[in-house]
Structure 1
Amino acid sequence: MAEVSSATLDLELLRSFQAAAQLGSLAAAAEQRHRTVSAISMQIKRLEALLDVRLLERGPRGVVPTTAGEALLQEARELLRMHDGMLARYAGRGLRGKVRFGLPEDYARELLGDVLPEFTAHHPEVLLQAVTATSGELVRQLERSRLDLAVVLDRPIALPGGEPLWRTTPVWAAPRHANLIERESLPLALHEVDCPYRALATEALERLGRPWHALFTSTSIHAIERAVETGLAISVLDRERLTPAMRELGEAEGLPALGRCEARLHFARAIEPASQPAAQALADLLRERLRGRGPWRSAAAG
């Protein structure tokens, strides 16, 4: 009869590994876990020794999971979620704490109509604070620990680390019944600075040498869309946001090809210990609903 191993997994080792893998930094994991960098490093080495496999590749810019580490990360999330949920149920209460979540304004309608209501329904004792802003502003708020986690596009500021959720599909959006493309200077409707799609539009036009001017600037995606629909300006929107009053333009009309962005899930370097399980629960739901699909198909499927 084969000998049964008596080895057991220490959940604290898994939590430290999860933090380092998600944040891409032992220092950031140490800050989030309220431990020293050497303690986090020793915990991960103990876990690697226990499993007899390398989990993280260490380099000058931080750490990244190995293939085995990626597989363990998925299983660790599920194990810790089940553990924390079971503990909460048998302790007679659900998750508590405060979660400060940031999301790009362009995707707020879809996330507010699907993911966030489900989270608050399942975790009514968690104080959820959701804010919208440009991706550049969300990066600054994460770095200042004013947010616990955020969905951020990787332009115009490429924040290191994070977990890929979905690829966006930016297109040139023009009014259906107005021809603005032949104007000497292309009239654009844009968000303020720090907007990924503003950066895509202006960089592409400047590479082509095409004159442009910001005819309409707003922090509201709905105002930008209205400026396009009424024939005022051209903009760059996610293809899923095009309405019947708009049409998509491209290279056939003399406009340059646009790059793509990736939406990534980022955690703050420091999250209050009492709020970490709730932050992880929201992250789990975001992964489940958005990874590889984005909010559009997720909302339709729900």
Structure 2
Amino acid sequence: MVEVSTATLDLELLRSFQAAARLGSLAAAAEQRHRTVSAISMQIKRLESLLDARLLERGPRGVVPTATGEALLQEVRELLRMHDGIVARYAGRGLRGKVRFGLPEDYARELLGDVLPEFTARHPEVLLQAVTATSGELARQLERARLDLAVVLDRPIALPGGEPLWRTRPVWAAPRIANLTERDSLPLALHEVDCPYRALATEALERLGRPWHAVFTSTSIHAIERAVETGLAISVLDRERLTPAMRELGEAEGLPVLGRCEAQLHFARTIEPASRPAAQALAELLRERLRGRGPWRGAGAG
């Protein structure tokens, strides 16, 4: 007769594991979970013992999931999403209303993979409408009350009253296999107008007196990245977006120092009263997940 395991998984252990794996730091997970670092560490060890598997690799720069941990993380995310959705539907505490949320396209992949699905699981009765655009366009949509809240970089339009979330780290991104800096006119891959990184790149080059031209223009961050990887152009990307096919350039290659941008949370001047609690709930989740570190795993995204 085959013995059937009666082990059960404690949701609190799973939440602590998810936080540590996503943030890349036991200290950051402890802060988010309102526990001590030692308590988070003990919870992870209990979960590893229960599953008889090593889930996180610990090092001087934080923690990263093992292959088993990565697989578990995907299942944990779905399990907690389903659990929180059930609680929200049947415990009588679900929010309602409609929330129109804007975010820069460069960060959509990270937010769509984590924060927004968690919000919809917690509040299934809320109608969430998320759109991506350049920060300049998002600023205009906020001013016209077409959005309820948005994450907006503070360039090229500096909206007043924004709540700081994180500082971006723009860098010159070049193809690893080609040297494009020796050309008389620097070939750039850029977003269209109203993009903060386009403004950073062109303003820095013009201050230096360095000729440039846009060899490729697109609204898609993935198309911009591909243009760099294939050797067509140089661009300005968040450092976290660099791929193995790219390399970072700087003053040693004759390129000017780039400034930083700040990602800020902004509310529309007016929000429908019925939707205001839901908008506040999304804002609180964004603060919890993004403040000080941005959408990237680990605290180094600053």
Distance 1:20 1:110 in 2: 16
Q: 1:154 Cα deviation (Å)? A: 0.1
Matches within 5 A, 1:61-210: 92-210=92-210
Q: 1:97 Cα deviation (Å)? A: 0.1
Gaps of 5+ in 1: none
Matches within 5 A, 1:281-296: 281-296=281-296
Distance 1:234 1:151 in 2: 26
CA contact (8 A) 1:24 1:162 kept: no
Distance 1:81 1:244 in 2: 33
Structure 1 residues 156 and 123, CA gap change in structure 2 (3 angstroms): same
Q: 1:149 Cα deviation (Å)? A: 0.1
Q: Partner of 2:233 in structure 1? A: 233
Gaps of 5+ in 2: none
SS at structure 2 position matched to 1:30: helix
Deviations 1:6-60 (A, max 9, x none): 9999999999999999999999999999999999999999999999999999999
Q: How much is the aligned-residue C-alpha RMSD, in angstroms?
A: 12.2
CA contact (8 A) 1:175 1:247 kept: yes
Q: 1:89 Cα deviation (Å)? A: 9.0
Structure 1 residues 98 and 54, CA gap change in structure 2 (3 angstroms): farther
Structure 1 residues 250 and 102, CA gap change in structure 2 (3 angstroms): same
CA contact (8 A) 1:163 1:264 kept: yes
TM-score norm. by structure 1 comes to 0.70
SS at structure 2 position matched to 1:101: strand
Distance 2:136 2:27 in 1: 23
- Bigger CA drift: 91-100 or 209-218? 91-100
Q: 1:297 Cα deviation (Å)? A: 2.2
Deviations 1:161-216 (A, max 9, x none): 11000000000000000010000000000000000000000000000000000000
SS at structure 1 position matched to 2:130: strand
Structure 1 residues 187 and 22, CA gap change in structure 2 (3 angstroms): closer
TM-score norm. by structure 2 comes to 0.70
Structure 1 residues 62 and 166, CA gap change in structure 2 (3 angstroms): closer
Matches within 5 A, 1:258-297: 258-297=258-297
Distance 2:239 2:15 in 1: 38
SS at structure 1 position matched to 2:298: helix
Structure 1 residues 159 and 54, CA gap change in structure 2 (3 angstroms): farther
Structure 1 residues 78 and 279, CA gap change in structure 2 (3 angstroms): farther
Distance 1:116 1:189 in 2: 29
CA contact (8 A) 1:107 1:295 kept: yes
Structure 1 residues 229 and 147, CA gap change in structure 2 (3 angstroms): same
Structure 1 residues 120 and 8, CA gap change in structure 2 (3 angstroms): closer
Identity %: 92
SS at structure 2 position matched to 1:107: helix
CA contact (8 A) 2:227 2:233 kept: yes
SS at structure 1 position matched to 2:187: strand
- Bigger CA drift: 45-54 or 219-228? 45-54
Deviations 1:57-86 (A, max 9, x none): 999999999999999999999999999999
- Bigger CA drift: 197-206 or 41-50? 41-50
CA contact (8 A) 1:29 1:269 kept: no
Distance 1:245 1:52 in 2: 37
- Bigger CA drift: 270-279 or 86-95? 86-95
Deviations 1:218-263 (A, max 9, x none): 0000000000000000000000000000000000100000000000
Distance 1:3 1:161 in 2: 61
Q: 1:126 Cα deviation (Å)? A: 0.1
**Aligned residue pairs, count:** 302
Q: 1:271 Cα deviation (Å)? A: 0.2
